[in-house]
Chain A
Amino acid sequence: MHKLWAVIRREFQTRVQSKAFVISTILGPLLMGFMMVMPILMASRETGSKRIVVIDGAGGNFGQSLERELSEARRGGGTDAQPRYEVIRIAARGRVQAVQDSLVPFTGLARDTVHRLDGLLIATDSAVDAGVVKYLGDNVGSMSDMGMLENFIQNVILSERLQRRGVDPAIVRAASGRVNLVTAKISEGRLTGESGAASFALAYAMAFILYLALLIYGIQVMTSVLEEKSNRIMEVLASSLTPFQLMAGKVVGVGAVGLLQLGIWVGTAMFLSHNAVAIAGFFNMPPESAAQMPLPAICWDLLIVFLAFFTVGFFLFAAAYAAVGAMCNTMQEAQQYSTAVTLLVAVSFFSIFSLLNDPNGSLARVFSLIPFFAPIVMPVRYSLTSIPLYEVALSFAITVLGLFGVAWIAGRIYRVGILMYGKKPSLKEVFHWVRTS
């Protein structure tokens, strides 16, 4: 036991003392703080509204309605809201093309040019009838800008169409207007105060962190084994330590490093999210903006589920990676087998997109019972919806069993592989190792 501990400590110490670890551990929280604060700072510092010319070739009030709707659009919230657009309407019935041609040279010029335009919105009768509106500008690549513009225009077209069919303009005005869907999450019969967007962000972030951690630290185990084989330290170790001590020591040591780094990152995230208001104040931002910060609250039971599944999942994959390292001699050889393992991790990561749609669907339930997928799938599901305790426990138990199975097989492979030098073994040979070891 003392020897196993010596191996664990060595693996842990050499990694924690390395520059790479220190840098990435500090970088993580910095990046998070940055991501929290930056979007708000940027939004509030945005200079000027977009200057749009409405080239009005349509009959009736359509052009004016468009102008009004766009002028009233605001960005930012509360008392600091700024106009989103600076709108200039040019009546151009019958000469739309000519006006357009004359304005294009002024559009999309460098930021500090005085007489510049951001975009040209062309209103014609066919716009109202067929619903096709042309917009020429330099921000057409931005999906959010275009989406927003489309929304505004849609409202105007809708009310124009209604008006042309004789609906009272007052009624039209009262009936139109954007609908704002305000979402809030209910978990276990209680209101958590979290919005839909935050839920998604949390689930995605968790899956991503798990995915990244499994890959980074899992592969570290593999490269570490390869290195020990190639620089022959393995020979000395094999004469004093059992293969089990070597493999388990390495997996636990690397796992501990991963947990430490993860703990620091998650801890920072929790700290930041619980103190969002204070941080907003620190940067002289209004308290309401704290609500817009993308980091959602993380509750304790989710954290426990996350950590428990991460730990078991990590050991499972780390054992598999260790076996791959033991089988091969160089990184190139190892890549073929390690890709197979990585694929398993990737599948569970990409499954979260279907999970978001239906956290309790058949795909979700099946994946929760497969040891290779459960470590990522279960925590994500848990963050999206409440799951009966027995289901969580069952999934965990199956994953632990899976871990024992993989560890047993990996151990047999490790025992033979670490002193094997020579060509890469075929799968058949590896089976033989497992059976006869």
Chain B
Amino acid sequence: MNETILKLDRVTKRFSGHVAVRELSLEVPKGGIFGLLGPNGAGKTTTLRMIMNIIVPDQGKVVLFEGQKSGREYSDRIGFLPEERGLYKKMKVVDHLAFLGETKGMNRKVAIQKAREWLERLGLHDWTAKKVEDLSKGMQQKVQFIGTLLHDPELVILDEPFSGLDPVNSEVMEEVVVEIARSGRTVMFSTHNMEQAEKMCDRVVIIARGVKALDGSLSEVKEGYGKRNIALTFGSGGGGKAARVLQDPSLVSTLNDSGTSAELELAPGASSQRLLRSLVEAGVELLRFEVVNPSLRSIFIAKVGAEAATPVASEARNA
């Protein structure tokens, strides 16, 4: 049977009276890409830090590699990219990566060799001997990414890895993540970018306000929401004309209106054809009308709601 590379069992963490993570349980199977999704302040970073044993849960257990030891003791088998990440500005890129590899138990020569390969692969070959401070922010992020993967870890944990990356660099990193997962490693990343998660993840867990809202494989999660979603794209001016139809509660139960496009969930009892007829009769120019599986984004918003997306205000969190 597929081994569980990571298991959280009713993990709880409090900070100065505010509960950041409440009784969170999840299992990450070996191999594949696992998404930890949630709005800002949901407790994703706290959860990841508890996995790494950088902070200690108040209650509950973290089990890694089905073993007894804590995150840092397994650190040689795990690659961790924290949300707030930095680099030594004055070090040369290749020296810095070699150092990071050594902190994971790599032999220095091997680390240097691998670092060079990675830098070549991500297009940073010319910057190998330059100081970190000479690189642009995007390049530095790539270096951080390499640092996480250098020691070829079995489990890769990335906290908001794509934040701040331009589309091209983002694409490059995505390719790397997919390739790693395909070769049998496990990747777990946290994000609030639903489109990306939808593209890449095999399994997802959605948390909000420290509590788990959804858990399962991507297909399970989507099927759970049924085939009652319609994706629309309007022609010019269509959005305005369609508004009244879309506000009709007998037709539409949830609407995600983005101006020129919209995604909605049909109200119980309504049929997609009746909606289509109402729109056409209202004179709406439609470029797309499709019965779809709900997008992760709409599931998220529906499940978590605009309210739950805002964390409860509390005293300043520690770290």
Contacts and interface: CB of A to CB of B under 8 A. Distances in A.
Interface in A9-32: 10, 13-14, 18
A402 to B, nearest CB: 30
B88 A14 contact: yes
Interface string B292-319: 0000000000000000000000001011
B72 A236 contact: no
Interface residues of A, number: 25
A239 interface: yes
Nearest to B80: A239
B75 A6 contact: no
A3 interface: yes
B103 A6 contact: yes
Contacts of A231: 86-89
B102 A236 contact: no
A303 interface: no
B32 interface: no
Interface in A175-234: 228, 231-234
Given A236-B85, A236-B147, A240-B72, A421 B105 contact: no
Interface string B54-93: 1100000000000000011001101011101111111100
Contacts of B114: none
B285 to A, nearest CB: 50
A235 B86 contact: yes
A233 B143 CA distance: 13
B319 A421 contact: yes
A162 interface: no
A154 to B, nearest CB: 62
A260 interface: no
Contact of A241 (B82, B91, B103): B103
B44 interface: no
A238 interface: yes
B151 to A, nearest CB: 9
Interface string A237-278: 111111000000000000000000000000000000000000
A419 B72 CA distance: 15
A419 B50 CA distance: 13
Contacts of B105: 2-3
B100 interface: yes
Contacts of A235: 54, 82, 84-86
Contacts, number: 76
B161 to A, nearest CB: 13
A420 interface: yes
B190 to A, nearest CB: 14
A422 B99 CA distance: 29
A419 B90 CA distance: 22
B11 interface: no
B94 interface: no
Contacts of A6: 99, 102-103, 108
Contacts of A228: 86, 88
Contacts of B91: 10, 14
A7 B88 CA distance: 13
Nearest to A234: B86
Given A14-B88, A232-B86, A240 B318 contact: no
B104 interface: yes
A3 B319 contact: no
B36 interface: no
Most chain B CB atoms below 10 A, which of A228, A232, A420: A232
A9 to B, nearest CB: 8
A5 to B, nearest CB: 8
A240 B99 contact: no
Given A3-B105, A6-B103, A419-B54, A236 B86 contact: yes
Most chain B CB atoms below 10 A, which of A14, A234, A240: A240
Contact of B80 (A14, A18, A236, A419): A236
A422 B317 CA distance: 9
B86 A14 contact: no
3 smallest A-B Cβ distances: which pairs? A232-B86, A6-B102, A231-B86
17 contacts: A3-B102, A3-B103, A10-B95, A14-B90, A228-B88, A231-B89, A233-B86, A235-B54, A235-B82, A236-B85, A236-B86, A236-B144, A239-B52, A419-B54, A422-B316, A422-B318, A422-B319
Interface of A: 2-3, 6-7, 10, 13-14, 18, 228, 231-242, 419-422
Given A240-B72, A419-B319, 14 more contacts: A2-B105, A6-B102, A10-B95, A233-B85, A235-B82, A235-B85, A236-B82, A236-B86, A237-B103, A238-B54, A239-B80, A420-B318, A422-B316, A422-B318
